[in-house]
Amino acid sequence: MQRSYQALLTTIREAQTTPGWLGTVAANFLKVSVNYADGLFHCYNVPDLPATNNDLERRFGRLRYHERRVSGRRVVSGSLVLRGSVRVQAVLSAEGQRLSAEDLRLRDRVGWQQLRQQLEARAETRRAQRRFRHDPSAYLTNLERQLLK
Looking at the fold, whether 68 and 41 belong to one and the same domain comes out as: no
Contacts of 123 (CB under 8 A, 6+ apart): 82
**Which residue would you say has higher pLDDT here, 18 or 86?**
18
Q: What is the pLDDT of the chain when averaged over all its residues?
A: 81
If residue 99 lies in a helix (H) or strand (E), which one and from where to where?
A: none
pLDDT digit string, tens, across residues 129-149: 888 999 999 989 988 999 998
Beta-carbon contacts of 137 under 8 Å, excluding residues fewer than 6 positions away, are: none
- Asked whether the whole model's pTM tops 0.75, one would answer no
Mean pLDDT of 56-76: 81
Report the alpha-carbon angle 101-104-109, nearest 5. Answer: 130
pLDDT at residue 110 in the model: 92
Asked whether the predicted pLDDT for residue 40 surpasses 70, the reply is: yes
Percentage of the residues of the chain whose pLDDT score is greater than 70: 86
- Does residue 75 or residue 120 have the better pLDDT? 120
Query: Do 99 and 71 share a structural domain?
Result: yes
Range of the domain at 37: 1-48
Domain identity same for 33 and 54: no
- The DSSP code for 41 is T
- Integer Cα distance of 80 and 61 in angstroms: 13
- Total domains present in the chain: 3
Looking at the structure, tell me whether residues 147 and 131 fall in a common domain: yes
Which residue, of 48, 64, 84, is where some domain finishes?
A: 48
